Amino acid sequence: MRVGNLTRTAVMMGMLGAVLMTSGCSWFRRGGKTVDSTGDDMLQPGPLPEDSSVIAGREAGTGTRITDDPAAKIENVLFDYDSYQIRPGEMPKIERAAAFLKGNAGVTLVAEGNCDERGSNEYNMSLGEHRADAVRAALVGMGIDGGRITTKSFGEEKPADPGHGEAAWRVNRRVEFGFYR
Amino acid sequence: MARVWGLIAAAGLMAATRTTAQVEIVKPGTERTSLSLTEFTAAGGNSAQVFRRTLEEDLKRSGCFSLVAGPASLMIQGRCGDAGGTVTADCRVQNRAQGKEVFRKSYRGEAAGARRLAHTAADDIVLALTGQRGIAGTRIAMVGLRGGRKDLYVCDADGGNLTQISRDGAPCLSPAWSRDAQALYYMSMHRGFPDVYRVDLGSHRRNPIATYPGLNMSPAVSPDGRRLALVLSKDGNPDLYVMDLGTRQLTRVTRSRQAAEASPSWSPDGSQIVYVSDRAGSPHLYVVAASGGTERRLTVRGRQNVGPEWGANGLIVYSSLRDQCYQICVADAGGEKDQLTKDYADHEDPSWAPDGRHIVYARSAGHRSGLYVIDSEDRSEVGLPLTEGSWYSPAWSPR
């Protein structure tokens, strides 16, 4: 799989190189498949070359996500519109997550914050992070080592329900528990 | 002619809108100099036609002229042609009122680059006639959603030359141009977490810029090009930071324990930053010194105010939730001045063109989003002719 990808990348980079050498002009004029109404070409460069670097501080969530343990299946914590406040009725879910972490010493948690589709994507990324952080803070308040929990926002990018009404929005304003071992 | 063009754009908008669009076509009292291309001919093949058509569209889109078919105050004269894979053009401008030639320049380039060559000619002509260079040669970066995959794209100011930059199919957001327009900073989740990267548009190399635990997003390059404002949550909830791009050292600008921050943008002199914070319950705009300090709330109208961009003209353009829709508004340092859009659709993520006059934004209705350009002077709007897909987070390049 990996070798296949590398081979394909190498072939595409080679093709790109050939196009570059023949055209000799700036990047936005390189050849490719026509996709727009003006008749111009779209670059098909393949995966971007990238500097490899280790992301430090994200040890939590680097193992395998636990999907086979019923105790790890905890309902999503739901939120009000434009709010990161944990409603009292949602606290039992967080308590169950705390109990699971206490009973499984090697397990780490990624608290995944999400928003409904309304509003600014950027603000929703921030709001989703704030929701995840609120859940993390609640867990730390229950005696869980904060080093076992990392937060991750998807903003409005990963709805649980792809619909567009209040019913979908209600379940999309959430924090999901992702346990890793 | 400009009026007709505006009406066509308005008709297109109304067709795409559920209720009648209220679009002002031309601000009363606005008088544009008439300009004609009837004495500028295209001979030869397709590239010459592309050159002439692009030049005409660019001059129209500049907003500086009223294009007419017959005699006009300003006559574009000359010819363009193509042969052997090369396009050539001789462009002259005759000012009939003054009875003299005010511009003359020849152009030559590869036939495949006819559109870019025409953009250059249009910007030269606008400079000669107005004293300020045009924006036809600038570009727009954006996020595209095509076939369920989100990636980074770039197109010309008129929507042509659409080019896919990334091929990750992962959530990405808010591209920001480097000052030399050779690189983009943006947030991408292609490695699982929301991180900030820099993409060099020449080499296509991508470098991680901010990969701290939690959220890394909303990069904004300072006017001097040396600093990057961004939002990080590494020290708790999301806050505003400034990174020195030389040393990668961070300075924390806001310390809000109970609020989420987003979308920073620099003042023209680099001393202040406008950004979004929900410290008052809903997201609104605040201004803070780039070195930190006490923030000041900028907007009070609207249930929400998001996505600000501080233009070189000193004006902040942003998106304000009015009734049920996000509308494009403009503020100065004292607060809101004007609401530019009014039709029943969401208008988000506005970005100034370097002429300080045109604004590109994402307009969504019926869960599809396209990019539109509005002339802040006469309020005419025109959609960018992008391919099938939804388009978000536009950022207009510097010159």
Closest CA to B362 of B309, B314, B313, B303: B309
Mutant choice from B215, B234, B299, B347 vs A, greatest count of A C-beta within 10 A: B215
Q: Using the 8-state DSSP alphabet, how is residue B19 labeled?
A: S
Rounded to 10 degrees, the C-alpha dihedral B29/B13/B151/B162 comes to: -70
Q: How much is the ipTM here?
A: 0.88
pLDDT by residue for chain B (399 residues), tens only, comes to 344 444 444 444 433 333 333 333 334 345 789 999 999 999 988 999 999 999 999 999 999 999 999 899 999 999 999 999 999 999 999 999 889 999 999 999 999 999 999 999 999 999 999 999 999 999 999 999 999 999 999 999 999 999 999 999 999 999 999 999 999 999 999 999 999 999 999 988 899 999 999 999 999 999 999 999 999 999 888 999 999 999 999 999 999 888 999 999 999 999 999 999 999 999 999 999 999 999 999 999 999 999 999 999 999 999 999 989 999 999 998 899 999 999 999 999 999 999 999 999 999 988 899 999 999 999 999 999 998 899 999 999 999
**How close, in Å, is residue B104 to chain A by CA atoms?**
25
pLDDT attached to residue A126: 97
Please give the structure tokens belonging to residue B287: 């201004």
- Give the residue among B261, B270, B206 at the shortest CA–CA distance from B232: B261
Q: Please answer yes or no on whether B206 and A119 come within 8 Å at the CB atom.
A: no
- DSSP conformation class of A41: E
pLDDT at position A181: 92
Q: What does the DSSP assignment read for A49-111? A: PB-----TT--TT-S-B--S-GGG--PPEE--TT--PPPGGGHHHHHHHHHHHHH-TT-EEEE
Residues 129-158 in A contacting B (C-alpha not used; CB under 8 Å): 129-130, 133, 150-155, 157-158
Contacting residues of B for A158, CB less than 8 Å apart: 171
* Shortest distance, CA B98 to any CA of chain A (angstroms): 37
Show pLDDT as tens, one digit a residue, over chain A (181 residues). 344 444 444 444 444 444 433 333 333 333 333 334 443 333 345 556 665 444 455 666 778 999 999 999 999 999 999 999 999 999 999 999 999 999 999 999 999 999 999 999 999 999 999 999 999 999 999 999 999 999 999 999 999 999 999 999 999 999 999 999 9
Nearest to B367 among A48, A152, A164 (CB): A164
Task: Find residues 17-46 of chain A whose CB sits inside 8 Å of chain B.
Answer: 23, 25-29, 35-46
Mean pLDDT, chain B, rounded, equals 91
Among the partner-chain residues A36, A84, A125, the one whose CB lies closest to the CB of B262 is: A125
- Which residue from B minimizes the CA distance to A82? B282
Sheet with strand B206-210: strands edge to edge: B172-177, B183-188, B195-200, B206-210
Terminal-to-terminal C-alpha distance of chain A: 25
**B33 vs B50: CA distance, rounded Å:** 25
Give me the CATH topology for the region B138-396: Neuraminidase (2.120.10)
For residue B379, the distance in angstroms to the closest alpha carbon of chain A comes to: 23
User: Residue written as tokens 């058509």?
Assistant: B53
Identity of the residue in B110, B193, B387 whose CB atom sits nearest the CB atom of A152:
B193
HSE of A154 in the Cβ direction (CA atoms, 13 Å)? 20
Closest CA of chain A from B215, distance in Å: 7
Q: Which helix (H) or strand (E) holds A8?
A: helix A2-23
CB contact under 8 A, A36 and B262: no
- CB contact, 8 Å: A50 with chain B? yes
Q: Could you tell me if A131 and A79 are in contact, meaning their C-beta atoms sit under 8 angstroms apart?
A: yes
B15-62 confidence digits (pLDDT tens): 333 333 333 333 434 578 999 999 999 998 899 999 999 999 999 999
> Which two structure tokens, joined as six digits, stand for B374?
């509005």
Dihedral sign for Cα atoms in the order A129, A130, A133, A139? negative
Q: Name residue, tokens 């406040």.
A: A85
Other beta carbons within 10 Å of B280: 11
Q: What is the domain partition of chain B in residue ranges?
A: 33-130, 138-396
Of the candidates B359, B399, B354, the one whose C-alpha atom is nearest the C-alpha of residue B382 is B359
Looking up tokens 């993409």, which residue turns up?
A: B199
Residues of B in contact with A129 (CB under 8 A): 214-215, 233, 237-238, 260
Set of chain B residues whose Cβ sits within 8 Å of the Cβ of A12? none
Question: Mutate which of B117, B233, B382, B386 to disrupt the A interface (most A C-beta within 10 Å)?
Answer: B233
C-alpha to C-alpha distances, B209 to A113, B214, B232, nearest whole angstrom: 23, 14, 12
Among B139, B201, B233, select the one facing A133 at the smallest CB separation: B233
Report the gap between the CA of A99 and the closest CA in chain B (Å): 23
- The neighbour count for residue B16, using CB atoms within 10 Å, is 16
* Angstroms from A41 CA to nearest CA on chain B: 6
Q: Mutating which of A8, A33, A38, A149 best tests the B interface, going by the most B Cβ atoms within 10 A? A: A38
Strand residue runs (E) in B60-167 = 65-67, 74-83, 86-95, 100-110, 139-146, 149-156, 163-164
Among residues B165, B145, B168, the alpha carbon closest in space to that of B153 is found at B165
B298 φ, ψ (degrees, to nearest 5) = -95, -40
Q: Write down the residue that tokens 């388009």 correspond to.
A: B391
Chain B's closest residue to A31, CA to CA, is B112
Q: What is the pLDDT of residue A50?
A: 61
Under a CB-based contact definition with an 8 Å cutoff, are residues B382 and B126 in contact? no
pLDDT computed for residue B32 by the predictor: 87
Per-residue pLDDT of B167-225, as tens digits, reads 999 999 999 999 999 999 999 999 999 999 999 999 888 999 999 999 999 999 999 99
A88 — contact with chain B (CB < 8 Å)?
no
At A41, phi and psi to the nearest 5?
Answer: -95, 155
Cα(A10)–Cα(A5) distance, integer angstroms: 9
Q: Do B276 and A122 touch (CB under 8 A)?
A: yes
Taking only the tens place, the pLDDT of each residue in B249-260 is 999 999 988 899
Would you call B115 and A119 a contact, using CB atoms and an 8 Å cutoff?
Answer: no
List of chain B residues whose C-beta atoms are within 8 Å of the C-beta of residue A127 = 260, 278
pLDDT value for A59: 67
CATH number for the region B33-130 comes to 3.40.50.10070
